[in-house]
Amino acid sequence: MASVVLSEAEKLYIVHGVQEDLRVDGRGCEDYRCAEVETDVVSNTSGSARVKLVETDILVGIKAEMGTPKLEKPDEGYLEFFVDCSSNSPELEGRGGEELGTDIANTLYRVFSCENSVDLKSLCINPKEHCWVLYVDVLLLECGGNIFDAISIAVKAALFNTRIPKVRVLEDEEGTKEIELSDDPYDCIRLNVDEVPCIVTLSKIGYRHVVDATLQEEACSLASLLISVTSKGAITSMKKVGKGSLDPESIFEMMETGQRVGKSLHIALQKILDEEENLGTSRPKVGFLG
Amino acid sequence: MPLDHRRLRGPEESQPPALWAATAAEDEEDKEGAGAAPRDPCALRPLFARAGLLSQAQGSAYVELGSGTKVLCAAWGPREAAEPGAGRLLCEFRRAPAASLALADAGVEMYDLAVGCALCRPPAPAASWMLQPAEPEERRAAARLTLALLPALNQVSAVLGGGRGGPPEDWAQALRLGLDGCHRQYPVLRQSLLRAAQRRDAAA
């Protein structure tokens, strides 16, 4: 992961500030940075979203394609995650970014492995034969700390924005099945994202933990806990990262904070998504040049 | 070991044979599982641990858990790391704490032995977490948690969990159960290290 080099004095400054609930940019320990979320930025995808957390920039595109269901779950569709980190910095080009990319993809698989995160049964067309496969492509445009949170917000926004065309299955007298796409381009199914979890990263700095760490704060933190929280406050996965160790009491406190912060994150995100939805086609599109 | 992809040509798509097994056998197994007496969720399976059994490796450990999990771990090194900075530990930890036992046997200086413990929670609505699930229980689990603890320092070195867990209180309860399990396994591992050192002493 891209990292900054900090002097010991700078690290001490950050650690002492965090003990007093005051971070370098004036935030409290549980405050997020100002986030910009925009959906429908890429035109040739089924759904897309872009999230910008000051210096962290993530672009997610979702393409819905027809495929065969997995053998263990013949009446469900599925999601495939691909993460590309190569546009970030020269050291992440080629093989370097692959490790980070697979790490992020595996985390996303685990977060979405919970059965009721996405209604996969609605993605089924013909049990055992046809289903919708959602290919989720994550592009890491800029890494400014806290990429997991930004990626999960972008994935949720992109899933909300995804429009899957409605298909009808026609069966002949002989039994051959034909799939017919509806003529109306606006006739599509939308996904229910109420149960989609968001990742909250809590980094341990000194004796306290902070939410949404910048690159400098990540350099001072030896251990972090990644928790995925749904909008109802249920935790669906957790993982500890970093080479330091965590006290069991800290883990309990971090889970409580993560649940609190996660719930308010979901409320704020849903508000933005609903506002965009209500504006419809008259929404001013900012895109990448704004 | 890197695989030679040019010579080993396996099929493009492979499927596990268990899927094609007769479904009648599965139903029987389910009924048996449901009808059996509910097991004590805090019970730890009997653990056998032995360090220092491979002569070729610097350090080794063998751990066997009650109903069939056997893990052998060997530690080599230290070798010069490819990148500068902190050294890298290439190691996979699972339920059995064999890896840290092998490292300690090799004489690597460590803060403490890392003891791992796994828990799972069956899909029934108000089910409670169970320590060290057997394979069929783990396959049917709705949520899983694995954690590693350094018992002497009481610091958690790794947590990995996922599934339909519920509110944080449930996960906290599962963590406490896991920590307790790790503390209970620690004396067995220390004993095995002690015996291995005594054996080496006697042989020298």
Domains of chain B, residue spans: 43-78+91-202
Locate the chain A residue with the closest alpha carbon to B142: A114
Residue found under tokens 């996960």: B171
User: Which among B154, B168, B176 is the nearest to A256, CB-wise?
Assistant: B168
pLDDT digits (tens, 9 = 90+) for B104-155: 776 666 667 777 777 777 776 666 777 777 666 666 777 888 888 888 888 8
- What is the model's pLDDT at position A268? 92
d(CA B67, CA A76): 34
Average per-residue pLDDT for chain B:
69
How many structural domains comprise chain A? 1
Q: Confidence class of residue A118 from pLDDT cuts 50, 70 and 90?
A: confident
The verdict on a CB contact (< 8 Å) between A239 and B159 is yes
Locate the chain B residue with the closest alpha carbon to A238: B161
- What is the model's pLDDT at position A279? 83
Query: How many beta-carbon pairs under 8 angstroms link A with B?
Result: 75
Residue B45 has pLDDT above 90, yes or no: no
- What is the model's pLDDT at position A191? 87
Q: Confidence class of residue A236 from pLDDT cuts 50, 70 and 90?
A: confident
Q: Of B18, B22, B37, B38, which Cα lies nearest the Cα of B126?
A: B38
- What is the model's pLDDT at position B10? 67
For the ranges A146-155, A161-170, B88-97, the maximum mean pLDDT occurs at A146-155
CA angle A42, A47, A52 (to 5 degrees): 65
User: B77 to chain A, minimum CA–CA distance in Å?
Assistant: 20
pLDDT digits (tens, 9 = 90+) for B46-86: 777 777 777 777 777 777 766 666 677 766 666 554 443 33
- What is the model's pLDDT at position A76? 86
The verdict on a CB contact (< 8 Å) between A248 and B154 is yes
The verdict on a CB contact (< 8 Å) between A247 and B150 is no
Question: Quick check: is A177 in a domain?
Answer: yes
CATH class for the region spanning B43-78+91-202: alpha beta
Mean pLDDT is lowest, of A123-137, B14-28, B48-62, B86-100, for B86-100
pLDDT digits (tens, 9 = 90+) for A239-257: 988 878 888 888 899 999 9
Residue B15 has pLDDT above 80, yes or no: no
Residue A281 has pLDDT above 60, yes or no: yes
Question: Quick check: is A141 in a domain?
Answer: yes
Locate the chain A residue with the closest alpha carbon to B171: A235
Residue B36 has pLDDT above 50, yes or no: no
The verdict on a CB contact (< 8 Å) between B159 and A238 is yes
Per DSSP (E only), the strands in B12-108 are 47-51, 59-65, 69-75
Residues of A in contact with B14 (CB under 8 A): none
Question: Quick check: is A41 in a domain?
Answer: yes
Locate the chain B residue with the closest alpha carbon to A237: B162
Q: Does B14 touch chain A (CB under 8 A)?
A: no
Average per-residue pLDDT for chain A:
86
Whether this prediction's pTM lies above 0.90 is answered by no
Question: Which structural domain range is residue A239 located in?
Answer: 8-277
Per DSSP (E only), the strands in chain A are 35-39, 47-53, 56-67, 78-84, 124-126, 130-142, 163-165, 167-171, 177-181, 188-190, 198-205, 208-211, 223-229, 235-241
More reliable by pLDDT, A95 or B184: B184
Question: Quick check: is A282 in a domain?
Answer: no
Mean local confidence (pLDDT), A194-217: 90
d(CA A257, CA A263): 10
Q: Does B1 touch chain A (CB under 8 A)?
A: no
d(CA A211, CA A232): 19
User: Do the bridges between strand A56-67 and strand A47-53 make them parallel or antiparallel, or are there none, so unpaired?
Assistant: antiparallel
Q: Does B167 touch chain A (CB under 8 A)?
A: yes
Residues of A in contact with B179 (CB under 8 A): 248
CATH number at residue A46: 3.30.230.70
